A = this chain, B = another copy of it.
């Protein structure tokens, strides 16, 4: 690769590559540091991306592809590709990025290459360049991590990526801080580690790392216990996750500032201004919702120790301690029914006194209660503010 002399020349080079047969626009790409198995170095245990490009920075993608080609790699045209980075790749990238190398705050992909230049010779085995071209089921640990990054960085929407088979691809490892350790390696070295007083501190045993091992949240986001948010979760700025009974699984999270003291199971999503009370459970697709993912609207309140297994619209309240499931039967008085219809102009159901939870899915302004004198479950029009979807008006 020849050394590029100016930003203009760089632009021309990118255009040439993008018009060549080696280029294909990636969905996402990036350079990762990988952790390899202590016992099986061929096993990739984790991939850490300092910079994630998702539907963006295609110029850098073009340079990386060209640099790979000129460094002797055979480029593959799969749904995803993973290449080991060698010194030649770094050198070729440096030549292409030459006009930008001396900028104090250069583009982040350039910064990555500059830093690789300093360490690639010491650790020639630990860096990969990864491309995802099609959102198919991931085939590599590196691609699973890239997708989890896209979710957790909100570069891709929750439920918006194909993660089929991800559990089968990731290794189950012991996490000691940010370091993944093979369980089999631990077993083989248990005697000397324990007798020597060097047994590592194990924080968890899981296929997934924690959100905070990879993601730097917004300045006004708070996570009071890192174990409470799995990598692959998405937290909108201003979200607070308390440490009591909360948990946010991967491919689940919040869309706006919200308070989370309960559980947001995999695939569940919570809207802006909502409050998931202490111990409240939002069921996930794997448990109790018949496969329907639960969305909680804006400005909802899920009371302490409540359980919600149906989607809710905006401005709903679930009282503390009650369970709102698809099959739960709720009484609605005629007067309340009219108020609820007002808040939900598109709801066409006739009045009939008793409604199953599944029939009320997604409605705005519901207040779910258990009558304390009769034990009957009832729905009222809530007194919470509702933000109706604009298309309804």
Contact = CB atoms under 8 A, between A and B. Distances in A.
Given A183-B217, A205-B222, A304 B323 contact: yes
A337 interface: no
Nearest to A193: B50
B321 A195 contact: no
Given A190-B216, A219-B183, A221-B205, A304 B281 contact: yes
Interface string A239-270: 00011111100000000000001010100000
Given A204-B226, A243-B247, A374-B374, 18 more contacts: A50-B191, A50-B195, A51-B191, A115-B191, A119-B196, A127-B195, A183-B219, A203-B225, A204-B223, A205-B221, A228-B243, A244-B263, A281-B304, A303-B307, A304-B323, A321-B322, A330-B372, A354-B373
Interface string A309-343: 10000000001111101001111000000000000
Given A205-B217, A222-B206, A307 B304 contact: yes
Given A279-B279, A281-B279, A320-B288, A244 B246 contact: yes
A38 interface: no
Interface in A364-382: 370-377
Contacts of A278: 245, 247, 263, 265, 281
Contacts of A58: none
Contacts of A205: 212, 217, 221-224
Interface residues of A, number: 95
Contacts of A358: none
A184 interface: yes
Contacts of A195: 31, 33, 48, 50, 112, 115-116, 119, 127
Interface stretch (A60-68, A172-180, A292-300): A172-180
B305 A305 contact: yes
A213 interface: yes
24 contacts: A33-B197, A174-B212, A178-B199, A190-B216, A202-B212, A202-B226, A203-B212, A203-B225, A203-B226, A205-B212, A205-B217, A205-B221, A205-B223, A224-B227, A244-B246, A245-B263, A263-B279, A263-B304, A265-B278, A281-B305, A304-B323, A331-B373, A374-B374, A375-B375
Contacts of A225: 203-204, 227
A391 interface: no
A194 interface: yes
Interface string A38-68: 0000000000111100000000000000000
Nearest to A196: B119
A94 interface: no
Interface string A113-131: 0011001000000110000
Contacts of A212: 174, 202-205
A277 interface: yes
A71 interface: no
